[in-house]
Amino acid sequence: MNLWLNRLVPSVPADLTGPADLARYELNNAGIRAEFNENSAMGDAWRVEPRLDGSFLLTGGQTGLLYASYRLITGLVCGEEFLGSLSSAPKYALRMINCWDNMDGSIERGYAGRSLFFRDGRISYDPDRMRTLGRAMASAGLNVLCVNNVNVHDPAQRLLEDFLPGLAALADLFRPFGVRLMLSIDFSQPMRHGVSSADPLDPAVRAWWKETAARVYAAIPDLAGFLVKADSEGRPGPFSYGRNHADGANMLAEALKPFGGYVVWRCFVYNCRQDWRDTRTDRPKAAWDHYACLDGTFAGNVILQVKHGPFDFQVREPLSPLLLGMKHTNLAMEIQLAQEYTGHQIDLYTMIPMWKELFDELPADSIMSIAAVSNLGDDENYTGHPLAAVNLYTYGLMAWDPETDAKEAVTRWIRLTYRFAPEQEQTLAGLLLSSRRIYEKYTAPLGIGWMVTPHSHYGPNPSGYEYDLWGTYHKADRNAVGIDRTHAGTGYLDQYPESFRTKYGDPAVCPDLFLLFFHRLPYSFRMKDGRTLIQRIYDDHFEGLEETRDLARELAAIPFPEPDATVIRARMKLQLYNAGEWCDVINTFFHRLSGVPDDRGRIIYD
Amino acid sequence: MNLWLNRLVPSVPADLTGPADLARYELNNAGIRAEFNENSAMGDAWRVEPRLDGSFLLTGGQTGLLYASYRLITGLVCGEEFLGSLSSAPKYALRMINCWDNMDGSIERGYAGRSLFFRDGRISYDPDRMRTLGRAMASAGLNVLCVNNVNVHDPAQRLLEDFLPGLAALADLFRPFGVRLMLSIDFSQPMRHGVSSADPLDPAVRAWWKETAARVYAAIPDLAGFLVKADSEGRPGPFSYGRNHADGANMLAEALKPFGGYVVWRCFVYNCRQDWRDTRTDRPKAAWDHYACLDGTFAGNVILQVKHGPFDFQVREPLSPLLLGMKHTNLAMEIQLAQEYTGHQIDLYTMIPMWKELFDELPADSIMSIAAVSNLGDDENYTGHPLAAVNLYTYGLMAWDPETDAKEAVTRWIRLTYRFAPEQEQTLAGLLLSSRRIYEKYTAPLGIGWMVTPHSHYGPNPSGYEYDLWGTYHKADRNAVGIDRTHAGTGYLDQYPESFRTKYGDPAVCPDLFLLFFHRLPYSFRMKDGRTLIQRIYDDHFEGLEETRDLARELAAIPFPEPDATVIRARMKLQLYNAGEWCDVINTFFHRLSGVPDDRGRIIYD
């Protein structure tokens, strides 16, 4: 199983000297003749010029040559013709995968087996699978791999010390693929080494981090940097010392600067102990409230990594205002390939339509990097559901070029992965592209999110988080549902630029799918198409279930090879059950509250 | 820590030859002179006659002499005077404790630490603590101890084989205390020994159980018998072979009969995979539907063990109809000392008022034995909350004589356990006796039950089981709440005798605290005192919280010794938090549904 590279040679040698060497190997095996014109100033960028003799001239940095080669090879597999010259450069400098792997081998929010990197408290991997992953990343244009969970527990707290030689070996392994390692670190790390605090303004702390950085970079000279989750969900951070996050991030940045490393600082700070009775606090406001005032105060090698939405990877969230308002700060947008709230890699959920929507709202220059929480594990097929691999591949294409066409990207993945007839390719592409909207329909309605089984985050539980501490409430009662987040309500919408306030502020104008994210509305509210809100909730859920049945039927007609066919069939059976539960539970929940019957007389259980 | 025997000598010898020997030892140490007139025909029964010289003549079987001695000694500690002769005989033959201890050392629904009997997959105990437990049981009149969980997992499935010598040693240890062991067995046991089925009518199966019984009784001649959970919550049973439960129980009874052993057969059979959309099935009907038709078909040494209510140990349930309708079958009533749904031995919950209510409805002769799920563990004080021990002690007194006065029993426990001034004793007795009603007020309203956090069963979650598979629904909507279980509804009430149907069938007559158990009622329903149902729900919850605060204040004024004082204070703090959560969550839940404001304007959160 080689992800989408099954039609290339099964493996690459273990003794590659670098990306250009790998490029040559792959091109040779694909029967492509090419001359390399290495230009290190071009870095990841590349140019391909076809020659009359059927060979190609490739120009670029070492990694550029590699990316150009994969572009040629995968294009060939997909039946593309290269008649004119072609050039490309990535839109974002760091195109990152964040693995939430723990050293005991478990994966936080992992749905594809155990860790590929760790087992029983130590580094443990299959070098062949690492190279497969490296090829897959390179072929998709991804260049940074953070191997350990942002929640850094023991023994991962000793990665920078006891496990450094093992990490260096792993970095060596990934280097020919143009993939640089990154490490999640624990902000209180110095305190495990005799330093009396982790205060970022304490000279002893700063000295410790400088020495540590020097030691780490001596072992891994091209480490991409440190990923930090601080002061979030119980993790330690600068707040403990009355410092702000610029103090914390800049202190680490100072230590990494001599080595060209980045500090990637996650902006996932909120009060995860909010009392449900507290109506003044509104969790989506938290990131802006914490960080906007710090704009312009971060060092040049700090990147703030901001989740795409203000909550936490729900099916539908507006773009985080922080991504729009930090003009003088390096930003990375964080998305989640792991299907935590989006079906656990059981339900089909292809993400690229969602990313396209995000980029429609996000000026491309607002961010300089992009990160995705990994959907990988040690399952034979790497992603649990074979069709979940489309998310990893198309993420790479989007991270390189956010203007990538969704349908082209998905079709490209299908052609690389399977050998189907053109009409089957078209059908499958259509199913994948529709899967997110179907999932959205049968789960929580119209942007409200969170009606999910607490903790596991699979299956319906309309009030599971309602009386809890996480700040994620719908406050549905007999008359209305939702939180007013406009100026008249919690004021969350005030964090946005004028164009967003106009778009979302008035329920008569606000796009339907965001209605309940921004507004509290009575069930009798008239939607733009004349339906009432409650009828729209019922309709979406019945349609979502019906469309899942159609999806299952159409998918069953596609001749997937084994073992994919069996896995897809088994998971679709679970998805059908899940969709049925969601449809009935959500409809009953709202019917009990509203008392309004379905205007088409479909069954809503008591 | 000697439970309520702290004022006796700290321990008893390891080499006691029998109950009479123990009795002599305890009397000597208490400074009581007595002559024994052993009459083995009297068994557990006894007579005490004071003599002019200050000594006593005790008459009874070996165990009777022991019980009489503890009666004298504990009476002395409590300041009783013995002027005339006194005699007593237990109402119920088997007065059982059922421990749900697993061999890995965990306890299912245990709230007082780990197992006292098992650790790391083997039998492991502290003999001193065993003797303390034996004394405590004897002093309370309890005579059967089932040490392993009714859910028999590996390695407990090998208790009858590999661990038999260890069990025999444990039985030897408990024998002087008049305590006989009982074992939970797995119905499919023969299949682990080369028998091809566990069909109770298969001669090979019957032969296997006979041989096994002979082997077990050779090691433990006074074993009380086998406890069986069959065809329940995933346990194997006769249904697998198209046999009924009389077939299954009688087969085992035949094997145990030569040795005087009982088969205690738990009647906890229901469809634990009921779909929430299925309104025809009503879980409380299950026990009757399964067993009533079998009345009169069970062997003489079979006892059906029936939970006191038709659900599962909720705060308020009507008496199980099965306890009233099986005139020709040996019955035991099962209660639960482990505070699964009643506060996890964090919240104060003294059970004897509840038991008195049960016996008010249950003709005393309807049952011949009684069983309680244990609240014990290896915590220093055995019951986690020091005041939870009152439930173990008073259970013993009730099991001996269901006409025991609740206040006298509780006061007796206080006097044995602590040295308080009389007014402090009175105050504490009052607090203990009121604790159940307080807990009931702040949790689920008026008999509806189940509004509890799923699985853990602590804390509020009004719809936690609502869309699940367990058959425990309230179906609260904007107008009404509850299930109609009368003849017009699910027909559950039809399982009862006429007097019950009259008492519970009409909502205008039905006692308030059972209203929502038997009826579906609109929030506007007028209670007997003129309040609406919804106002009563609000009032109970506000009162329950207020009364918990009073309870905390009054309890804080009682001078408990250490370490009890610290434990009680810490748990009361948790109880106050829990009561606050329950009050607010339940009131908000019903306010959101009903839209009715509190008529006294107290705070109900949005």
Helix A62-77 / helix A406-417 crossing angle, nearest 10 deg:
80
- B576 burial type by CB count under 10 A (0-12 exposed, 13-18 middle, 19+ buried): middle
Q: Determine the pLDDT at residue A270.
A: 81
Phi, psi of B306 (to 5 degrees): -115, 125
> Chain B contacts of A478, Cβ < 8 Å?
478, 592-595
Q: What is the distance between the alpha carbons of residues A67 and A45, in angstroms, rounded to a whole number?
A: 8
B498 is annotated as an active-site residue: no
pLDDT of A480-521, one tens digit each?
Answer: 999 999 999 999 999 999 999 999 999 999 999 999 999 999
Cis peptide before B236 (omega within 30 of 0): no
Query: Which string of b and e fits B103-115 if b means at least 16 CB within 10 Å?
Result: bbbebebbbbbbb
Q: Which residues of A touch B461 (CB under 8 A)?
A: 467
CA distances for A506 relative to A31, A285, A321, A486, A514, angstroms: 59, 19, 18, 9, 11
Question: How many Cα neighbours within 13 Å face the side chain of B594?
Answer: 24
Question: A470 CB contacts (<8 Å, ≥6 apart)?
Answer: A272, A274, A283
Determine, for residues B467 and A479 on separate chains, whether the beta-carbon distance falls below 8 Å.
no
Cβ–Cβ under 8 Å, residues A413 and A393:
yes
Residues facing residue A123 across a β-bridge: A118
Residue A464's alpha-carbon distances to A150, A170, A474, A538, in angstroms, are 26, 42, 11, 20
Please give the pLDDT value at position A314: 98
Q: Which of B456, B477, B583 to mutate to test the interface with A (most CBs of A within 10 A)?
A: B477
Residue B103: what residue type? Answer: M
Q: Is 80 exceeded by the pLDDT of residue A1?
A: no
Tell me the per-residue pLDDT of A354-382, one tens digit each, with 9 for 90 and over. Answer: 999 999 999 879 999 999 999 999 999 99
DSSP H or E segment with residue B336? strand B331-336
For residue B463, the chain A residues in CB contact (below 8 A) are 462-463
Q: What angle do CA B352, B354, B356 make, to 5 degrees?
A: 70
Catalytic residue from among B334, B340, B539, B547:
B340
DSSP-derived 3-state class of residue B50: strand
Q: Rounded to an integer, what distance in angstroms lies between the CA atom of residue B57 and that of residue B36?
A: 6
The two beta strands, B302-307 and B262-266, are parallel
- Confirm if A334 and A305 have CB atoms less than 8 A apart: yes
The amino acid at residue A316 is R
DSSP state of A526: B
C-alpha span between A341 and A580 (Å, rounded): 17
Pick out chain B residues at pLDDT < 70: none
Distance CA A455, CA A444 (A): 16
Question: Which of A1, A29, A8 has the alpha carbon at shortest distance from A416?
Answer: A8
Q: Cβ–Cβ contacts within 10 Å for residue A423, how many? A: 8
Query: What is the distance between the alpha carbons of residues B397 and A176, in angstroms, rounded to a whole number?
Result: 79
- pLDDT at A272 exceeding the cut of 80: no
Whether residue B595 and residue A478 make contact (CB cut-off 8 A), yes or no, is yes
Contacts with B276 from chain A: Cβ below 8 Å? 605
The DSSP code sequence of B217-279 is HHH-TT--EEEE--SSTT---GGGGT--HHHHHHHHHHHHGGGT-EEEEE-----TT--TT--
B468 touches chain A (CB under 8 A): no
Which of A600, A605, A468 minimizes the C-alpha distance to A536? A600
HEC string for B529-591: CCCEHHHHHHHHHHHHHHHHHHHHHHHHCCCCCCCHHHHHHHHHHHHHHHHHHHHHHHHHHHH
Q: H/E/C letters for each residue in A229-274?
A: CCCCCCCCCHHHHCCCHHHHHHHHHHHHHHHCCEEEEECCCCCCCC
What is the ipTM, given to two decimal places?
Answer: 0.91
- B477 and A593 within 8 Å at the Cβ level: the answer is yes
pLDDT score at B35: 97
Mean pLDDT (whole number) for A179-190? 96
- pLDDT score of A142: 98
State the pLDDT at residue B269.
Answer: 83
pLDDT for res A271? 79
3-state secondary structure of A95: strand
pLDDT of B295: 97
Residue B172 to residues A469, B97, B166, B182, Cα–Cα distance (Å): 52, 18, 10, 13
pLDDT in tens, A460-473: 999 999 999 899 99
User: Please, what is the end-to-end C-alpha distance for chain A in angstroms?
Assistant: 48
Q: Side-chain half-sphere of B253: how many Cα atoms within 13 Å? A: 19
Annotated catalytic, B233? yes
- The token pair at B521 is 């009622």
Nearest residue to B64 (alpha-carbon basis) of B83, B81, B78, B48? B48
Active-site option among B38, B154, B161, B233: B233
pLDDT score recorded for residue B234: 78
Sign for the pseudo-dihedral over CA of A17, A22, A25, A28? negative
C-beta of residue B515 within 8 angstroms of C-beta of residue B391: no
From A464, A475, A594, residue closest to B606, measured CB to CB: A475
List Cβ neighbours of B269 (8 Å cut-off, separation of 6 or more). Answer: B231, B232, B245, B286, B287, B290, B291
pLDDT band at A455; cut points 50, 70, 90:
very high
Q: How far is CA B493 from CA A285, B319, B489, B501, in A?
A: 53, 11, 9, 6
Of all residues in chain A, the one with the smallest CA distance to B605 is A277
Looking at chain A, the whole-number percentage of residues with pLDDT higher than 70 is 100
Least Cα separation, residue B259 to chain A (angstroms): 51
- pLDDT tens digit sequence for A143-156: 999 999 999 998 99
Find, in chain B, the residue whose alpha carbon is nearest to that of A592.
B477
Q: Reply yes or no on whether A233 is catalytic.
A: yes
- pLDDT score recorded for residue B274: 85
Q: Could you tell me if A279 lies within 8 Å of chain B, comparing CB atoms? A: yes
Across chain A, mean pLDDT equals: 96
Chain B CA closest to residue A591:
B477
For residue B393, the model assigns a pLDDT of: 98
A571: closest CA among A342, A440, A385? A385
pTM of the predicted protein model = 0.94
pLDDT (mean) for A58-76: 97
Q: Does B494 touch chain A (CB under 8 A)?
A: no
Chain B residue with minimum CA distance to A475:
B606
Give the pLDDT of residue B430. 98
3-class DSSP state of A210: helix
Cα–Cα distance for residue pair A290/A268, rounded to 1 Å: 10
At A537 the three-state DSSP class reads: helix
Residue A524 scores a pLDDT above 80: yes
Q: Does A588 touch chain B (CB under 8 A)?
A: yes
Tokens (6 digits) for B24: 């002599």
Cα separation, B374 vs A244, whole angstroms:
53
- Burial status of residue B280 (CB atoms within 10 A of its CB: 0-12, 13-18, 19 or more): exposed
* Domains of chain B: residue spans and CATH: 3-88 (3.30.160), 94-417 (3.20.20.80), 420-483+520-606 (3.90.1330.10)
Name every chain B residue with its beta carbon within 8 A of the beta carbon of A605: 276-277
Mutation choice for B interface testing from A463, A524, A578, A591 by most B CBs within 10 A: A463
CA end-to-end distance (rounded Å), chain B: 48
Q: What residue type is B344 in one-letter code?
A: H
User: Whose CA is closest to B59, among B98, B91, B94, B88?
Assistant: B88
